[in-house]
Structure 1
């Protein structure tokens, strides 16, 4: 066998060998290399459906890798500077849940910011761990949550010395980074594991002059969305672990929820993308950072928009900033971010990542060009010229501190009743409400419903935010705990 190097793509190479074997398939999937579903084959192409195959000895098995998947994961671990890497085909949601479930069980405490992705709180519903929230500081002008303050983390540890882990969003959707090295040092001094939701930080491992990566900072686990800034297919992700984690146990945890039928389309895309980043990542992300900076300069020259960046750094709650994130504050043109988001899509055929109450995020990555950025800048200039209005009366606050009454697991499974939204004030919610993207809950199970939250939900709906989470898809009713 050839020696492993970052030039290699073990899964891709195995699939190429498999195609040359002209195997007659009497296994699943039932489309049999596309022959049984001609419409699908025409749509996706024969090249694609011919490698949508089942696990078999020559191709290894994701739940117990011993050959080509094992090799590909070892190459990924080396590329990311981790002790182990696990390929995930259930998205970074699955990787985040794998982290939380690997370090905690019912009754354990986890310190985390409240502005986490719903996947974190979903994991708490599954395992019964208790969240200890460090409420993030908020930039009131931009209406965005900042990172975790080191002093707040220290206070949380002092008040909860029995906590088993700290989870950090790094970076946030907007590009805000916490003092990850400081948090790791503090946590490890108290015997506490550090988990990083690094969904938006794949490029930290390969670019120069970018914020520190979780593995370089000494974190114990990190969930990395290769499909976001790393170029792999949607739903493919990597879970990284440091040397202090028991890799065999982590694999067992992953196998509790991850499919036994791992998609070779997703797995090969991880393999191919890892090679691309390992060989060319530094140059690629230098170009991405330069393109994002060019866009920021051009957008700020329009007037009224604020494409913010490193000027936010304060050495604590904004310890660093991810310059590849093109986050733009829109309230000074009198439009909510989601209204700009809708205008860009409906009037200019430009699909950005998301818009919230006061900001938009245009995701700039390795597939972008200067021409596309110029089209975005031109459209934003025209939006300002045609749709600018008085910003009086616009909501600015994006984050509302929760009133936690009980654990997410207890609230999710407790006896509940459905009430009209306006009649839920003061009650304890038993489900999620969030704008998606970014998927950060406005309400999570176990939290008290306040007037501020109800006003926020009404305002977000009015402005056109995509609200998700509750059983009632129209969000006219909410499930609340009975008698609480």
Structure 2
């Protein structure tokens, strides 16, 4: 596919032609190019509403593309060096779920790290697959989950030779990467497929000196959040596949959960972002790496904070590190990451990606500048001066190894009862508890509730983490399996 011109944007071209043709719409959406909803048109703009259209022959159909969407997906596959690319408008959640649904059915085993995004465990509930969790390493100082070691994946594969697939985070939310190439070779030697959650790894395909991308490592499928670091609109994503996957079957699996009313605003943003990345990605991410490194150096000069990077690499659980990530440890100044997160937003007008109980993460992108970095660094320095306190007594780790007693599907659909959180100790959880972001479950259906986990949930709640996943929105009660 080297003959493809990455300057082309077929969906954008088709939409511009649609606008120029002055089509009179007697189809959905009912706002009729914005005329039926003037307030929305005033807010979003006439041009935006004029191309918020439904599928039609000149614009193709996302569920069964044969023209402009098909061409745009071929260009994306070429840009990302994949055998096939599928446009996703249900977020990377849908891409992750499609990977698992395309490779596993009820009773099948899948090897995966427990610090996966909730979408992966949702997929296990849908298909009935059985998780074989590989507990990630934990950095003793930072308290954060790391990557899977090759040795641990090798042990899981040897003990579960019937597993269908291995899922790998590339990278984790904090920027940590496993040895994806070696894990892929190992999995393939056991006749297992390799699925990569690259929600935070779009730039791996275009940057220089960054960890390797899933497709370059020979992975079979990769879920890529174009909107996170690739510049497309929120909720737009890609599902990439290698040569071992049947594209027709993958498309059918995607269509099980993806909308039949694909947003052309999202599709066009994928089309334009892909072209931008293919043409200018190296320069874009060279700038990002430089800004992130400058920020790390300046934050570490403040003292009390620790903006970590490649010095964590050990060839094992931290095989590589994404240097575009600005992950900062805050607990040494006596503040949980979520407390710094809240202060930055409420008092300094700075919105970062997330804060957990010991760290914050600021996403750096081509849209940043030295000015925005300086503003963040100055705010962190002032927060330390104004709010630093004795860190003793703070919860010191983010990850607790789960005790899995039942498959997520069986627990989710089991008879349940509601108990107070403290009364749940020793019970099997029947729902999710997680902090969002990052959306990694603290508890998932089928896992034993322990006193340590309860203490963590209550501590995170007290510190201001946004907890979700439970039926009780006050997070005071939990649904447990009624045995």
Normalising by structure 1, we get a TM-score of: 0.99
Q: Is the aligned partner of 1:335 residue 2:335?
A: yes
Alpha-carbon offset, residue 133 of structure 1: 0.3
Equivalent residue, structure 1, for 2:387: 387
Equivalent residue, structure 2, for 1:252: 252
Query: What is the alpha-carbon distance in structure 1 between the residues aligned to residue 300 and residue 4 of structure 2?
Result: 47
Query: What is the alpha-carbon distance in structure 2 between the residues aligned to residue 366 and residue 277 of structure 1?
Result: 11
Q: What whole-Å deviation, never above 9, does each CA across 1:79-128 have from its counterpart, x for those lacking one?
A: 00000000000000000000000000000000000000000000000000
Query: What is the alpha-carbon distance in structure 1 between the residues aligned to residue 421 and residue 113 of structure 2?
Result: 26
User: What secondary structure does 1:7 align onto?
Assistant: coil
Q: Is the aligned partner of 1:423 residue 2:426?
A: no
User: What secondary structure does 1:266 align onto?
Assistant: helix
Query: What is the alpha-carbon distance in structure 2 between the residues aligned to residue 416 and residue 207 of structure 1?
Result: 48
Equivalent residue, structure 2, for 1:172: 172
Alpha-carbon offset, residue 316 of structure 1: 1.1
User: What secondary structure does 2:215 align onto?
Assistant: helix
Alpha-carbon offset, residue 140 of structure 1: 1.5
Equivalent residue, structure 2, for 1:442: 442
Query: What is the alpha-carbon distance in structure 2 between the residues aligned to residue 474 and residue 90 of structure 1?
Result: 28
Query: What is the alpha-carbon distance in structure 1 between the residues aligned to residue 366 and residue 249 of structure 2?
Result: 35
Query: What is the alpha-carbon distance in structure 1 between the residues aligned to residue 16 and residue 4 of structure 2?
Result: 17
Whether the aligned pair in 2 keeps the contact of 1:4 and 1:71 (CA below 8 Å) is no
Q: What whole-Å deviation, never above 9, does each CA across 1:154-173 have from its counterpart, x for those lacking one?
A: 00001000000000011000
Equivalent residue, structure 2, for 1:56: 56
RMSD: 0.5
Query: What is the alpha-carbon distance in structure 1 between the residues aligned to residue 27 and residue 142 of structure 2?
Result: 55
Query: What is the alpha-carbon distance in structure 1 between the residues aligned to residue 189 and residue 53 of structure 2?
Result: 47
Q: What whole-Å deviation, never above 9, does each CA across 1:131-151 have from its counterpart, x for those lacking one?
A: 000001100210100101000
Equivalent residue, structure 1, for 2:81: 81
Alpha-carbon offset, residue 397 of structure 1: 1.1
Correspondence list, 1:267-278, <5 A: 267-278=267-278
Query: What is the alpha-carbon distance in structure 2 between the residues aligned to residue 131 and residue 443 of structure 1?
Result: 14
Query: What is the alpha-carbon distance in structure 2 between the residues aligned to residue 177 and residue 284 of structure 1?
Result: 21
Whether the aligned pair in 2 keeps the contact of 1:306 and 1:329 (CA below 8 Å) is yes
Correspondence list, 1:368-379, <5 A: 368-379=368-379
Equivalent residue, structure 2, for 1:197: 197
Detail structure 1 runs of 4+ shifted over 4 Å in the superposition.
none
Query: What is the alpha-carbon distance in structure 2 between the residues aligned to residue 178 and residue 80 of structure 1?
Result: 20
Q: What whole-Å deviation, never above 9, does each CA across 1:352-400 have from its counterpart, x for those lacking one?
A: 0000010000000111111000000000000000000000000111100
Equivalent residue, structure 1, for 2:233: 233
Q: Name structure 1 gaps, 5 residues minimum.
A: none
Query: What is the alpha-carbon distance in structure 1 between the residues aligned to residue 169 and residue 78 of structure 2?
Result: 23
Query: What is the alpha-carbon distance in structure 1 between the residues aligned to residue 420 and residue 300 of structure 2?
Result: 43
Query: What is the alpha-carbon distance in structure 1 between the residues aligned to residue 149 and residue 210 of structure 2?
Result: 20
Query: What is the alpha-carbon distance in structure 2 between the residues aligned to residue 68 and residue 474 of structure 1?
Result: 47
Correspondence list, 1:58-207, <5 A: 58-207=58-207
Normalising by structure 2, we get a TM-score of: 0.99
Query: What is the alpha-carbon distance in structure 2 between the residues aligned to residue 372 and residue 283 of structure 1?
Result: 19
User: What secondary structure does 1:419 align onto?
Assistant: strand
Q: Name structure 2 gaps, 5 residues minimum.
A: none
Equivalent residue, structure 2, for 1:25: 25
Matched residue count: 481
User: What secondary structure does 1:133 align onto?
Assistant: strand
Whether the aligned pair in 1 keeps the contact of 2:417 and 2:482 (CA below 8 Å) is yes
Whether the aligned pair in 1 keeps the contact of 2:4 and 2:78 (CA below 8 Å) is no
Correspondence list, 1:4-23, <5 A: 4-23=4-23
Q: What whole-Å deviation, never above 9, does each CA across 1:303-323 have from its counterpart, x for those lacking one?
A: 010000000000111111000
Correspondence list, 1:291-440, <5 A: 291-440=291-440
Query: What is the alpha-carbon distance in structure 2 between the residues aligned to residue 116 and residue 32 of structure 1?
Result: 41
